[in-house]
Amino acid sequence: MNTDSNATVIRVRMSDVGRKLETTQHAALRVSARLLILASWISGAIFAVYIIGFFGGSVMGGSGERWNESLPDLYDERTWLSTAAIGAHFMAGGVLLLLGPVQLFESVRRNFPVFHRWLGRIYVLSAGFAGLGGLGFILGRGTVGGPLMDVGFGIYGALMVLCALMAYSRARAGRYREHRAWAIRLFALTVGSWLYRMEYGAWHVVTGGIGIERGFTGWFDAIMMFFFYVPNLLVAESFIRSRRQEHGTVASLGTAAMLFAASAFIIFATWNFTARNWGPRMISGIAEVSL
């Protein structure tokens, strides 16, 4: 073989290796994203059933004051408007957790576009109710953790309303690439509400509750007032960008590893929280209605 044909063989092999790497990197991204969506959905669905079972069940059974077992002053008949706002936010939050992942599955979007559109409208409306209901409660009664928590949760509510509006308006304008990006951001935010509980649960298990104080005044409490949605938004941004630009293999595999790690954390934390908290409360709330 002469030098020219040797060079050609090397070039062909190199491009084969390149293609294989590219396929691996796309497969890793796809599998890790699907796993994360699935883990989030199962976990979010358990949280949603807990919300509907415990909060919905208690109020329907005439024991609305049981809401305060979860956090003090959630239910107060004297300030019924704030109570109604947080109640509406609970139910809308439950809907968000159940519907969000369905919207993200490409096969559903491709094969059932009308279904996707209707679910999208319900989703955006629920995000508006969850965000505005939460904001109404903060303005009317304030959070249990005081001004810093008001700010952290206030920004969270404002971002949720913004992402819902942007996802909807970009879809209406036919700008689907942008619509998808805003929908992913919105999903990352809705995930935050249950991650917040799970991160607390996991922290308790691992450290015994260092930095957590009554009235949410500890240093861990202060971090958590923002930490439950900022990292999710960063993961979402990294995912949006890794699909948008042709990133290097290392960056894409890094994103996939991050998505796998996030799934492992969700599975661990969900198991923990369901066994200790959501499960028993959900059963007692449903029992209120049937008694």
**Contacting residues toward ligand HEM, per CB under 6 A:** 51, 70-71, 74, 89-90, 93, 96-97, 130-131, 134-135, 137-138, 143-144, 153, 156-157, 160, 190, 193, 197
- Closest approach, Cβ 38 to ligand HEM, in A, equals 18
Nearer to ligand HEM by Cβ, of 64 and 93: the residue is 93
Nearer to ligand HEM by Cβ, of 159 and 171: the residue is 159
Number of helices (H) and strands (E), helices first, in the chain?
Answer: 11, 0
Burial string for 48-83 (b: 16+ CB within 10 Å, else e) reads bbbbbbbbbbbbebebbebbeebeebbbbeeeeebb
Neighbours of 85 (CB within 10 A): 22
The amino acid at residue 56 is: G
- Closest approach, Cβ 191 to ligand HEM, in A, equals 8
- Rama region for 181: left / alpha / beta (φ>0; ψ in -120 to 50; rest): alpha
d(CA 7, CA 14) in angstroms, rounded, equals 10
- Closest approach, Cβ 128 to ligand HEM, in A, equals 10
Nearer to ligand HEM by Cβ, of 157 and 181: the residue is 157
The amino acid at residue 169 is: S
Nearer to ligand HEM by Cβ, of 135 and 253: the residue is 135
- Closest approach, Cβ 12 to ligand HEM, in A, equals 51
d(CA 13, CA 94) in angstroms, rounded, equals 52
- Closest approach, Cβ 275 to ligand HEM, in A, equals 16
Tokens of 101: 């992942």
Nearer to ligand HEM by Cβ, of 193 and 255: the residue is 193
